[in-house]
Amino acid sequence: MSVKSKADIRAEKLLPGNQDFTSITNDIAGVPEQKKTPIQWWLLFGFALSLLAIFVGSVGFLIWEGTGIWGINNPVFWGWAIINFVWWVGIGHAGTLISAILHLFRQNWRNAINRFAETMTLFAVICALVFPGIHVGRIWVAYWFLPLPNQMGMWPNMRSPLIWDFFAVFTYFTVSLLFWYTGLIPDLATLRDRAKGLKKKVYGFFALGWRGGNRQWQHYELAYLVLAGISTPLVLSVHSVVSSDFATSVIPGWHTTIFPPYFVAGAIYSGFGMVMTLSIIARKVYNLGHIITVEHLDKMAQIMLLTGCMVGYAYSMEFFVAWYSGNPYESFAFVNRALGPYWWGYWAMIFCNVVVPQFFWFEKYRRHIPFLFITSILVNIGMWFERFVIVVITLHRDFMPGAWAMYNPTMFDVAIYLGTFGLFFTGFLLFLRFLPMVSIAEAKLVLPESNPHHGHDHE
């Protein structure tokens, strides 16, 4: 009996059971092709829509009344809006990392989750982009962020990190959208080929005449590679730029050079958390356990362990530098995080981001799906608190004790945050309903049939 090749073993791990091209296509394309929408989908969609309604209502009220409906004050001029912005942008990071960087490193295990992750990125960045727009005092002039030619010759202030931020996130969104769409083209063609009537026309329109020919695949692969190349630096740059909103300021607790790498690590950490949450739900609801396997989840848990340790290192390094600098303002900013009025926020962050991922040293926990599910949610709670710590705890006590104050969020802070989940899930559920949630073409890559070396491994 021939010895199983490494590729076979890998394929077995990633796509267990006797799967072939047809079964994969049927399994994945079968979901958007369902004649009857599952009742669970409708329930979830209804829930998402009601959250979206909360979002629309509270944003409407915000525009009508002003930012006073939030809990922000002097000195905490930024509150949940900015926390949520950074949080959503962070979540978006995993998508690009999975699609682009892991693609470049030829980590084919990503193929089961990359579509998911990319879609999540898109909607997360949309949720994030809502906040710079609505958090300003005069929403109707928010377009002044754009460098539009005008009769006054007024340009945005290019020295302001908010402008860098604005450009960084928009670039990121644009590239992510292109990347996602490029990856979708072969799958759209598959759906087109299997559909009839109007559906065929719509899928056909977006499939851009894909025929699966050799030359098309050649061009496609190259385009995908180029986009992956463009996206890769963005993974690092976007959150670095977001972090400079804080790092370039003079406020103790913000003014730190560790922010860019630490923000990127945190972003990937939270992004993987969100991908994990979503994929565990999806593989359960759509019975895709054989495509999004425990192996995938294990790999994601390993990345979360890595990035979790990185943020943990950053937290301790911040404290070390605050102490080592001898700057009393800096020292107090950090002591106040851990022991001040919002100490619970800080320790919630430490627990979720530093303590919890330590379980991932053990394979048992990396493969325990309920544990993974709870952990993935804790990770995102922890990362939300990280931004809370940075934004609120830093601002509420800075240089002048005479200006120190407490910050209390209002129901509208909560409503708009919950509302963005409505925005996110509405979009995500529509995606699940109409598009293949796993890349059909790429999922097949790990099958032995895709391996031209047939038992003769490269390594």
Partner 1 sequence: MSQIEKKNQEFVKTNAAALDKDNNQEFGYWKSLKDISSEEDYNRFLKQSEHNIDNSLSRRNFLSLIAASVALAGLEGCKKPVQKIIPYVEAEIGTIPGIPKYYASTLPFKNNALGVVIENHDERPVKVEGNEKHPATMGKSNSFAQASTLEMYDPDRARGIKFKGNNIDWSEYLKFAKSLNETDGKGLAVLMQESSSPTIKSIKEDFKKNLPNANWVVYESINNENLYDGIEKAFSKKLQPLYRLENAQIIVSLGSDFLGVDDNNIYHTRKFAQNRDIVDENSTMNRLYVAESSISSTGSSADHRLNVAQHEMENLLAELAYELKVLGLPINANKVKGPNNLWIKAAAKDLMSNEGESILLGGSSLSKEFHQLIALINHQLNAPVDYYPLSLSQVSSINDFKSLCDDMKKGKIENLIILGANPVYDSPSDFDFAKSLSKVKNTVHLTNIVDETSKLCSWNIAMNHYFECWSDAMTYDGFVSVIQPQIMPLFDSRSPIQVLSPIVYSKEQSAYDTVKSVWKSKIIKKGNFDRAWDKVLHDGLFEKPLFNSVDVKPSSIASTKVLNDNFKLDNNKFEIIFNPSSSVYDGRYANNGWLQEIPKPVTSLTWDNAALISLKVAKKLNIKNGQMLEIAVGSKTIKIPAFITPGQNQKSISLELGYGRKFEGRIGNGVGFNVYPLRTSNNSCFVLNASIKVLNETYPLASTQDHHGLEEDKYAAPGFDDLAPKEAQSRIPELVKQSTLDYYQDNPDWVQKKVEQHKPDKKKSWADHSMYNPDWDYSKGPQWGMSIDLTSCTSCNACSIACQSENNIPVVGKEQVMKGREMHWIRIDNYFSGDPDNPEVSTQSVACVHCELAPCETVCPVAATTHSSDGVNQMTYNRCLGTRYCANNCPYKVRKFNFYNYTRDLPEVVQMAMNPDVSIRFRGVMEKCTYCYQRVSAARISAENENREIKDGDFQVACQQSCPADAIKFGDINDPNSEVSKAKRRNRDYALLAHLGTAPRTTYLAKIRNQNPMLVSNSYNGGSH
Please identify which residue in 49, 162, 177, 178 interacts with partner 1, judged by CB under 8 A: 162
Beta strands in 261-331 (DSSP E): none
Closer Cβ to partner 1, 29 or 393, answer by number: 393
Name residues contacting partner 1, limited to 232-271 (CB under 8 A).
245, 248-251
Verify binding: residue 151, partner 1, rule CB under 8 A: no
Helix (H) or strand (E) holding 76: none
What are the Cα distances from residue 115, in Å, to 152, 176, 227, 303, 426? 45, 11, 15, 18, 17
Site string for partner 1, 269-308 (x = CB under 8 A): ----------------------------------------
Instruction: State how far the Cα of 351 lies from the Cα of 229, in Å rounded to an integer.
Output: 35
Please identify which residue in 123, 166, 315, 417 interacts with partner 1, judged by CB under 8 A: 166
Verify binding: residue 395, partner 1, rule CB under 8 A: yes
15 contacts 7 by C-beta, under 8 angstroms: no
Please identify which residue in 42, 77, 320, 361 interacts with partner 1, judged by CB under 8 A: 77
Instruction: State how far the Cα of 188 lies from the Cα of 436, in Å rounded to an integer.
Output: 8
Q: Go through 1-37 and write b for each residue having 16 or more CB atoms within 10 A of its CB, e for each that does not.
A: eeeebebbebbbebbeeebeeeebbebbbebbeeeee
Verify binding: residue 134, partner 1, rule CB under 8 A: no
Instruction: State how far the Cα of 280 lies from the Cα of 295, in Å rounded to an integer.
Output: 12
Site string for partner 1, 100-129 (x = CB under 8 A): ------------------------------
Q: How far is the CB of 324 from partner 1 (least distance, A)?
A: 15
Instruction: State how far the Cα of 304 lies from the Cα of 302, in Å rounded to an integer.
Output: 5
Residues touching partner 1: how many (CB under 8 A)? 58
Name residues contacting partner 1, limited to 322-341 (CB under 8 A).
328, 332, 335-336, 338-341
Structure tokens, 123: 């909607």
Neighbouring residues of 272: CB distance < 8 A, sequence distance ≥ 6 = 94, 300, 303, 304, 307, 376, 379
Verify binding: residue 65, partner 1, rule CB under 8 A: yes
Verify binding: residue 74, partner 1, rule CB under 8 A: yes
* Residues that bind partner 1 in the complex, under the rule CB under 8 A: 65-68, 71-78, 135-139, 141-142, 144-145, 154-157, 159-163, 166, 245, 248-251, 328, 332, 335-336, 338-343, 395, 397-406, 408
